[in-house]
């Protein structure tokens, strides 16, 4: 709509330059907070006929976001997910698109902190598994350390849960958790799209990947794809230098 396009232009042409430095943000902080929080109020009305346009505008907020705006965009992402999980919600594709913008601009750490898949030491929210294909598609310029700690820990938890359920003859439950484990491992190649911390953290991850190649054939494809991406990334950097 015309209103959505106008808001998008304001966010890209006015708000984006105002958040690119700490100095500019401090100068315009009150106005920026007011704009983003006001856009978020569009999610409050469960019968809002313009909800699709509201979500697409929120996607632009995530698109222009950076670490200086996480205190504003975190609550906005939580609110968007709460709306997605509400009764009779029909704009899943728009939410997935907006969440993808958040992953690309602010990283998987930001998204999984605000929409956690694991909601307790021994429990997960299966309704949030929709995040996994979005993460796989959108992760770039992320941190290998986050994969090596948080993502691998969840994959290990799912694998153990799958085996426990298999031993208890719960075949369907075991298969669900095995699938989740595989989906988390399938995120590894995405984490190898130009990772920011390859020099600092690849060595520790390499030991884990070496053991996986030796002992876990079911994850070898993901590991080999990841290593190919890292080699390509290193080659590109050598050419640029």
Does residue 91 share a domain with residue 210? no
Residues contacting residue 191 through CB under 8 Å, at least 6 positions apart = 139, 142, 143, 144, 146, 147, 151, 226
| Torsion of Cα atoms, 219 then 220 then 222 then 226, to 10° | 140
Domain that holds residue 90: 1-138
Q: How is 4-41 classified by DSSP, letter by letter? A: HHHHHHHIIIIIHHHTSSHHHHHHHHHHHHHHHHHHHG
| DSSP helix/strand/coil, 86 | coil
Could you tell me how many residues make up the chain?
241
**29 and 52 both lie in a single domain:** yes
On whether both 64 and 148 belong to a single domain, the answer is no
In a shared domain, residues 80 and 164:
no
Same domain, yes or no: 117 and 134: yes
> What are the phi and psi torsion angles at 239 (to 5°)?
-65, -40
Query: Helix crossing, 92-106 with 70-84: angle to 10°?
Result: 160
- The residues, any chain, with a CB within 8 Å of residue 28's CB and separated by 6 or more, are 18
- Residue pLDDT tens, the chain, 241 long: 788 999 999 999 999 999 999 999 999 999 999 999 999 999 998 777 899 999 999 999 999 999 999 999 999 999 999 999 998 899 999 999 999 999 999 999 999 999 999 888 778 899 999 999 999 999 999 999 999 999 999 999 999 999 999 999 999 999 999 999 999 999 999 999 999 999 899 888 898 999 999 999 999 999 999 999 998 887 776 666 5
User: Are 199 and 101 found together in one domain?
Assistant: no
Residues 73 and 179 occupy one common structural domain? no
Give CA–CA dist 60/35, Å, rounded: 12
Q: Are residues 168 and 89 in the same domain?
A: no
Q: Are residues 147 and 79 part of one domain?
A: no
- Give the CA angle between residues 105, 93, 144 to the nearest 5°: 35
pLDDT at 237: 67
Whether 94 and 53 have beta carbons less than 8 Å apart is answered as no
Residues 205, 197: Cα–Cα separation, whole Å: 11
Q: Which of 138, 168, 191 is the last residue before a domain boundary? A: 138
Give the residue from 110, 138, 166 where a domain finishes.
138
Would the pTM of this model clear 0.75, i.e. be above it? yes
Last residue of a domain, one of 138, 172, 201: 138
Q: Are 60 and 11 in contact (CB under 8 A)?
A: yes
* 65 and 27 in a common domain: yes
- The residues with which 120 forms a beta bridge, in sequence order, are 123
Collapsed DSSP state (helix, strand, coil) of residue 75 = helix
45 and 134 together in one domain: yes
Query: What is the structure's pLDDT at 240?
Result: 62
In 3D, which of 19, 27, 121 has the Cα closest to residue 63?
19
Total number of domains constituting the chain: 2
Q: Do 129 and 27 share a structural domain?
A: yes
């Amino acid at each position: 709509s015309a209103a959505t396009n106008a808001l998008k232009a304001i966010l890209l042409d006015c708000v984006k330059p105002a958040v690119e430095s700490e100095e500019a943000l401090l100068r315009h902080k009150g106005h920026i907070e007011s704009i983003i929080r006001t856009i978020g109020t569009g999610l409050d009305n469960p019968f809002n006929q313009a909800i699709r346009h509201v979500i697409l505008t929120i996607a632009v907020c995530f698109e222009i976001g950076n670490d200086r705006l996480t205190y504003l965009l975190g609550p906005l992402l939580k609110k968007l997910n709460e709306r997605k999980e509400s009764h009779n919600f029909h704009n899943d594709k728009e939410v997935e698109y907006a969440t993808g913008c958040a992953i690309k601009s602010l990283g998987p750490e930001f998204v999984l902190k605000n929409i956690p898949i694991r909601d307790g030491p021994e429990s997960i929210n299966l309704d949030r598994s929709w995040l996994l294909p979005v993460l796989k598609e959108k992760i770039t310029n992320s941190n290998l350390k986050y994969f090596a700690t948080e993502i691998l820990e969840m994959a290990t938890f799912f694998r153990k849960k799958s085996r426990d359920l298999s031993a208890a003859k719960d075949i369907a439950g075991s298969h669900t958790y095995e699938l989740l484990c595989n989906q988390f491992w399938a995120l590894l190649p995405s984490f190898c799209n130009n990772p920011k911390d390859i020099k600092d953290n690849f060595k520790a991850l390499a030991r884990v990947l070496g053991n996986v190649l030796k002992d876990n054939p079911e994850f070898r494809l993901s590991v080999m794809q990841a290593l190919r991406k890292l080699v390509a990334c290193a080659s590109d950097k050598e050419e640029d230098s």
